[in-house]
Each structure stands twice: as C-alpha cells, then as structure tokens.
Chains A and B, each alone.
Chain A
C-alpha cells in the first residue's frame, strides 16, 4: 500500500508508532512538546502522549544527550531530539566519551539503546552557524551508528529499526527534506539499516551520495542521461557501519565514481569513500575518483554565494562529464 506524504509526516508517523508500541519509549528535546518540534516533527504528540513521554527540555544539549544515555542504561528507550547538528556540538562530549565508549570500557556489560535525531545541512540561507553538515564527524566514531534517511520511506522506517538496535543510533535528517513529498510504503516495517540502496541503475558511472544531496544527484543523473551517460546512483543511507560492498560492486561495473557530499571537502566523508574505492577497486577504475563537496568556506548568507558553496546538480554533471 503506497501513499504520498512529506518527510516530516513520515517522521511524525514513526515517532507516534514508537510511543504507541513501547511504554519504555519517550521523546525528549528542546521544544519537542508545546512548540511541536523546531521542524514540527512532533506536532500533536504532547497532547496524545502527555508530558511524561514527550518532554520539553531546557537548552542543555549535553545533559539532554547524557540523560538519554543514562535513561537507556536504566532500561528506557529514549529518543532524544537535538534540534540541529549545529547545537549538537555542545553535546559531543557525551556522544564521543560516553555513548560510544560505555559498552567497550565496561567489557561489554552495558548496551545503550539510545536514539538521537537531529536536523542537518544547509541551503536555507541560515549562514555560517546554522548550516553545518557534520555527520562525517559522527561517522568517525566507533561505537555509534549513523543513519542518514534521504527518502520518505527511510524517514518512516529507519526509526523503528534504530529503536530495535541495542546500541546508540544517530539519525541525521537533512533540513531541506522535511517538506519534500515522496512515496511511502505503509506496510514495509523496520528498514534494513545495514545496506546502501541503488536509487537509480546505470552502467557508465556511479554517483555515490547520501541525505540531502540525493535529490540533487538524481537530478544530475537525469541531465547526464540526456547526453547518453547512464549514471547509477547509490544512496549510502548508513554512514557507520558503511556498506562498502555495494559501492565496490557498482564501481566494478561502471569503472567511474563521483562522490557527492555536503561536508567540507577536506577530511570529508567523500574522502573516506574515495579511499575505500582506491583500496578495494583501484584496478577497476578508468578515471580518478572525483568528489563534489562543499567549498572550504563558512556558509555565506547571500543566496548566490550559498548556492555556489554547496554541491549542485550542475557541479555533479560537470565532474561526471569530465570522465568521458
């Protein structure tokens, strides 16, 4: 059964379902209750589930995430909403030093079934402090999992999978995606959170991306098809643990790869993918791997500058055409 809904509605459906299905699940974060969520993802949930299960918190990112870890240790299934990745920097200590390490430091005695959701990415003229795309930093950390739903279906079905996972899962929702409509498979059930997805099949070049850049990449693939270049598009979906198999399998068929990543180019997640391709499929390449990333500049406010700083379909097309 399919229907058209927005990404935001998909998240709301998944939150509601989680709260309905399991008394241990609760949602907490800044403005998740009365305000309805900074991106309206939790609108209506406070009325439906009450203030014990939908908890407005003070502006205290560190204790929100840390209390999420503690509550998970104590037998609950918290969903923590950190308004955006920009603010999550104030909670990084809890992420890096506690969420990611407790299981290991204790010799496997504890699991931390915590889910942390946050918005990420630029493109809305919010300037240098509100436009970060720092998933890559999180993907660097062993001990946590990093999901980047790019489609309505993943927005709907990744959360239940994350809640089933006994380890801390971080979900990055690109802010540009919230109003986008897409197909929802209402009957699908919890998503497989171990595999990348082919969003478009092709035989000439592999375009590898995730999150908010997926739709730009699909647009680029459309343009390329008019030139007779059949591009395959991989949506990574999960940055950690990374499904390199799907990447290598595709690149071994197409022999060309462009990686599209909204992070800054230096030390980007694209750099990691590129290295994986060199290590595992170097002989398969007909052309050096290319990267389309954000320019090395704090995000400017002016629209034309912001557009120029971010990956765009034209830049993806240009980088791809150069390989032929």
Chain B
C-alpha cells in the first residue's frame, strides 16, 4: 500500500489522507445504512452496494475538475457522493421521493446531477460508454478542456459497446478516460469465465489506447494513477484506460445468494479493505488516533441521520405528474 504522496509536505499529506479516509467511510456507512433501509422496505427495486470498492470513486473523483463529465453505472452511490451530490438527495432518490436527485424517477441505479456534470447511472451494462464518448466528442468539438470519466465494470468489457467505444475514442482521439472497476465478477460469473484475455488493460492496446492496471484497494495509488492519467488525457486529448483491481465485499445486489464464490475468498479480500488499510497506515505514521476516528464516524453518522430525515420528509410526486419529463415542455430551443 502506498504511504507517500510524492512532492507533498507532511502536514498536507495528513490532511489529504484524512479527507480520503473520511470520503471512503462516508460511502461505507451510507451503503450499510442503505442495506438496512432496504430490509425495512424503505428502499425497493435493485440495490447494488459499493462496499469494498470505495477507494476507486474517492481517489478518482478527487482528481476530476468541476468542468469534467462523469458517466457511471448502476453501482454508483459512491461516485455520486464523492462527486458532491448530497447524501440527502441520493437517499431521497432511493426512497422514490420528489426531493431525490432524479425526483424519484430513477432510483438507486439512475442518479443524475446536471450541475455537477454527473451524467448518470446507467443500468444496461456497457450502455454508458457510448454516451461518454459523445460527451468527449462534444468537449473536443467545442475546444473545451474538459475530460469525460467513464466508470464501468469488468462485465461491460464483454459487451460490443465497450469495443465500439474504445475504437471510436482511439480513432478520433477523444478526451475520455475509461475507468474499469474490475471486481472480478459480473454478477456470478468470474472474470476467467467471461474473458478470453483476463488482463483488461491489455485490451486497450489493440485500439491504440494507453492503459495501466492499478491496485483498486489502495486509495493513494488510485488517486495518483488516475490524476496522471486524467492530466495526460487533458493535455493530449487522447483516451486512456485504467483497470482497477478491486473486489465487492457484499452480494451483487440484494437478491444474490452468492453461490458462485467461497467465503474464504471474500475473507481474504476483506483483509485488503481500502479503509482498514488506510487507517492502519495512518496510525502507524502517527497521524490518526482512535479519537480522530470516532470524530469522523460521529460526523458521518449525523450526516446519514439527516439524510434519512430529509428523505422521510420528502413528498411523493403527485399522480397528476406521472407523464411529466417524457418530452421537454417548453419548445423553441435556440437554434
């Protein structure tokens, strides 16, 4: 696990690590609360937890700028929170309330925030990649300096849309960074049971796209590698692919009996928990104590309580509005 941040003073390093830890714990506790609320029936539909993979969204989001665009999957609560969508509006969305970030029309798998350029949670595996390529194309044609970050799982790599998107982004040299969260499973199908070439980073080569594999359980490694990749994309307007090696600690969704993997494997990966890892190394460096940790925990607990209250207080959209948001109501777009 990385402990140094190159070229940065120790006191700043401490602050950065504190922030990273806090951001990861925030997601972890939020997800735990979501699972609890799911069993209480407050949240319904599909719920995919990000527990175990927090280092990726947290590390990557920190190096993206406000003008950058983000495309994510249905396992995107962590990305939404790390990007800055409030906990309350994500929770309210999962409750199906009008004060949710998608007014209760999307639910857990479809979080959006136009102002934060969070272009959504896509629940058709691979379906977000072409959109990300298009956002990057728009940025390029408008000569802006923005980069599009596209998150997807290892399962998406088997879809034609992955290959079409890689090819077009490589061919047209578009400023998009493909961020593959390889958690070794697509639902119950292990990587080596769905890929002829299990080294995903290597696939980028055939599209003329630079790539690398990064330890997705190490938030500092994620931040550093992703930061470099994004600045390279920004400077050269060429795509890049990162394969993060990670693992989901929980079931695929709330309906999964986990028949496809054994407990030892899960326990082994849990020893590499990105949060515990960072805590241990910070303690070892003497920059974190139990008191600090409990302060972080209690502020997160407060935020979560407030988020749940916000969601509880939200209104159900009136039935009269059922068919709203299908078409734009005010026409005459400026041509």
Footprint of B on A, CB under 8 Å? 21-22, 26, 52, 55, 57-58, 60, 62-63, 65-76, 78, 90, 93-94, 97-98, 102-111, 113, 142-143, 145, 160, 163-167, 241
Can you list 11 A-B pairs, Cβ within 8 angstroms, ordered by A?
Answer: A67-B168, A74-B137, A74-B142, A75-B142, A76-B141, A76-B142, A93-B127, A103-B328, A106-B110, A110-B112, A164-B333
- Of B102, B103, B122, B139, the residue contacting A74 (CB under 8 A) is B139
- The answer to whether A113 and B333 touch across the interface, beta carbons within 8 angstroms, is yes
CB contact under 8 A between A66 and B167, given known A71-B134, A71-B138: no
Interface size (B, Cβ < 8 Å)? 48
- The answer to whether B167 and A60 touch across the interface, beta carbons within 8 angstroms, is yes
* Binary flags per residue of B138-166, CB closer than 8 Å to A gives 1, else 0: 11011000001000000000001100110
Bound-state CA distance A169–B70 (Å) is 25
Bound-state CA distance A78–B102 (Å) is 25
A94 / chain B contacts, CB cutoff of 8 Å: 127, 130
Apart from A63-B129, A105-B106, A107-B105: 7 A-B pairs, beta carbons within 8 A: A70-B132, A72-B134, A74-B139, A106-B112, A166-B331, A167-B328, A241-B327
- The answer to whether A109 and B133 touch across the interface, beta carbons within 8 angstroms, is no
B171 / chain A contacts, CB cutoff of 8 Å: 58
**Is B131 interfacial (CB-CB < 8 Å)?**
yes
**Is B6 interfacial (CB-CB < 8 Å)?**
no
Bound-state CA distance A71–B328 (Å) is 18
A166 / chain B contacts, CB cutoff of 8 Å: 328, 331, 333
**Is B335 interfacial (CB-CB < 8 Å)?**
yes
Nearest-neighbor residue (CB-CB) of B122 within chain A:
A98
**Is B326 interfacial (CB-CB < 8 Å)?**
yes
- The answer to whether B138 and A62 touch across the interface, beta carbons within 8 angstroms, is no
Bound-state CA distance A75–B100 (Å) is 25
A62 / chain B contacts, CB cutoff of 8 Å: 130, 160-161, 164
B324 / chain A contacts, CB cutoff of 8 Å: 108
Bound-state CA distance A105–B332 (Å) is 23
Give the interface segment out of B39-47, B113-121, B190-198.
Answer: B113-121
B129 / chain A contacts, CB cutoff of 8 Å: 63, 66
Nearest-neighbor residue (CB-CB) of A61 within chain B:
B164
B327 / chain A contacts, CB cutoff of 8 Å: 103, 143, 145, 167, 241
Q: How many A-B residue pairs have CB under 8 A?
A: 157
Bound-state CA distance A139–B125 (Å) is 25
Nearest-neighbor residue (CB-CB) of B132 within chain A:
A70
Bound-state CA distance A97–B110 (Å) is 12
- Of B124, B142, B331, B332, the residue contacting A93 (CB under 8 A) is B124
CB contact under 8 A between A104 and B325, given known A76-B138, A164-B331: yes
Bound-state CA distance A105–B328 (Å) is 13
Closest CB in chain B relative to A53 CB, distance in Å: 8
Nearest-neighbor residue (CB-CB) of B172 within chain A:
A55
**Is B241 interfacial (CB-CB < 8 Å)?**
no
Nearest-neighbor residue (CB-CB) of A26 within chain B:
B141
A164 / chain B contacts, CB cutoff of 8 Å: 331-333, 335
**Is B104 interfacial (CB-CB < 8 Å)?**
yes
Bound-state CA distance A63–B172 (Å) is 13
Bound-state CA distance A67–B179 (Å) is 18
Bound-state CA distance A161–B174 (Å) is 30
For the residues of B in contact with A, the DSSP-based class is mixed
User: Which residues from 160 to 210 on chain B have a C-beta closer than 8 Å to any C-beta of chain A?
Assistant: 160-161, 164-165, 167-168, 171-172
**Is B211 interfacial (CB-CB < 8 Å)?**
no
**Is B226 interfacial (CB-CB < 8 Å)?**
no
- Of A63, A76, A98, A113, the residue contacting B133 (CB under 8 A) is A63
- The answer to whether B168 and A57 touch across the interface, beta carbons within 8 angstroms, is yes
Bound-state CA distance A15–B124 (Å) is 33
- The answer to whether B105 and A106 touch across the interface, beta carbons within 8 angstroms, is yes
- The answer to whether B105 and A104 touch across the interface, beta carbons within 8 angstroms, is yes
Closest CB in chain B relative to A317 CB, distance in Å: 39
- The answer to whether A70 and B137 touch across the interface, beta carbons within 8 angstroms, is yes
Bound-state CA distance A319–B192 (Å) is 60
Which of B113, B324, B328 lies at the interface centre, i.e. has the most chain A CB atoms within 10 A of its CB? B328
Bound-state CA distance A26–B161 (Å) is 22
B106 / chain A contacts, CB cutoff of 8 Å: 105-107
Bound-state CA distance A73–B146 (Å) is 14
- The answer to whether B127 and A105 touch across the interface, beta carbons within 8 angstroms, is no
- Of B69, B124, B161, the residue contacting A63 (CB under 8 A) is B161
- The answer to whether A58 and B167 touch across the interface, beta carbons within 8 angstroms, is yes
Nearest-neighbor residue (CB-CB) of A142 within chain B:
B326
A58 / chain B contacts, CB cutoff of 8 Å: 164, 167-168, 171
**Is B136 interfacial (CB-CB < 8 Å)?**
yes
- Of A21, A67, A90, A104, the residue contacting B137 (CB under 8 A) is A67
Bound-state CA distance A90–B126 (Å) is 14
Closest CB in chain A relative to B327 CB, distance in Å: 5
Bound-state CA distance A241–B324 (Å) is 15
Bound-state CA distance A67–B324 (Å) is 26
Nearest-neighbor residue (CB-CB) of A190 within chain B:
B335
Which of B103, B141, B167 lies at the interface centre, i.e. has the most chain A CB atoms within 10 A of its CB? B141
Closest CB in chain A relative to B83 CB, distance in Å: 14
**Is B135 interfacial (CB-CB < 8 Å)?**
yes
B139 / chain A contacts, CB cutoff of 8 Å: 74
A163 / chain B contacts, CB cutoff of 8 Å: 335
A22 / chain B contacts, CB cutoff of 8 Å: 335
- The answer to whether B131 and A69 touch across the interface, beta carbons within 8 angstroms, is yes
- The answer to whether B114 and A106 touch across the interface, beta carbons within 8 angstroms, is yes
Bound-state CA distance A74–B131 (Å) is 10
Nearest-neighbor residue (CB-CB) of A107 within chain B:
B103
CB contact under 8 A between A108 and B325, given known A71-B138, A74-B139: yes
Top 6 nearest A-B pairs (CB, nearest first) are A70-B134, A66-B130, A74-B138, A107-B103, A67-B134, A106-B112
